[in-house]
């Protein structure tokens, strides 16, 4: 997604739009991470009430709607926390540090492939739930929340799809790192 939108020069100090690149990347990753936490929350609630042996109050939403709603809220929370974390981490940093981090993101082909899969999942998930909701076959959520939940789950499924179809096994990646090869090898840095 990002390499198609932003130029990747030969040297990090020539990287334009460094703040935008890093911000988009961090918010995108936070969106997916928040989805994982959001999807885990209904299960944590069930486990918590089971451990305490308290009856779980009946929820007005069906199970699918609860998961999508939790994914939507989690994705927003993850995006917000990641945004604040990025600001805290990069506050007062020199421009070259922003450029270097952004340049490395654009140079990392595996990360770019994951971003593409995740962005595709966001689009497909949002469109599918919006279409289903508009046609009356939705899950009992308002259009906005259903679309956001679909986008969140789509982002996560895109990430899973990337991992499952990746040609690099863990062993291959370890060999490349030990050998000093890959997108961040010393000769690729400059």
SS3 per-residue string spanning the chain: CHHHHCCCCCCHHHCCCHHHHHHHHHHHHHHHHHHHHHHHHHHHHHHHHHHCCCCCCCCCCCHHHHHHHHHHHHHHHHHHHHHHHHHHHHCCCCHHHHHHHHHHHHHCHHHHHHHHHHHHHHHHHHHHHHHHHHCCCCCCCCHHHHHHHHHHHHHHHHHHHHHHHCCCCHHHHHHHHHHCCCCCCHHHHC
pTM: 0.79
Structure confidence at residue 135 (pLDDT): 82
Average confidence (pLDDT) per 10 residues, the chain, 190 residues: 78 90 95 94 79 65 84 95 96 94 91 92 94 80 91 95 78 69 54
């Amino acid at each position: 997604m990002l390499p198609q939108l932003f130029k990747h020069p030969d040297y990090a100090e020539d990287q334009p739009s460094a703040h935008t690149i890093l911000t988009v990347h961090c918010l995108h990753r936070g969106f997916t991470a928040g989805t994982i936490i959001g999807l885990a929350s209904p299960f944590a609630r069930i486990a918590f009430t089971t451990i305490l042996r308290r009856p779980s109050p009946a929820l007005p939403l069906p199970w699918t709607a609860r998961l999508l709603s939790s994914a939507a809220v989690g994705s927003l929370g993850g995006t917000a926390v990641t945004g604040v974390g990025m600001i805290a981490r990069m506050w007062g940093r020199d421009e070259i540090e922003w450029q270097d981090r952004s340049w490395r993101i654009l140079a990392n082909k595996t990360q770019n492939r994951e971003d593409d899969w995740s962005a595709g999942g966001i689009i497909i998930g949002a469109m599918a739930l919006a279409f289903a909701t508009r046609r009356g076959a939705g899950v009992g959520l308002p259009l906005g929340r259903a679309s956001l939940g679909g986008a969140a789950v789509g982002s996560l499924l895109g990430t899973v799809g990337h991992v499952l179809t990746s040609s690099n096994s863990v062993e291959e990646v370890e060999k490349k790192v030990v050998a000093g090869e890959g997108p961040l090898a010393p000769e690729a840095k400059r």
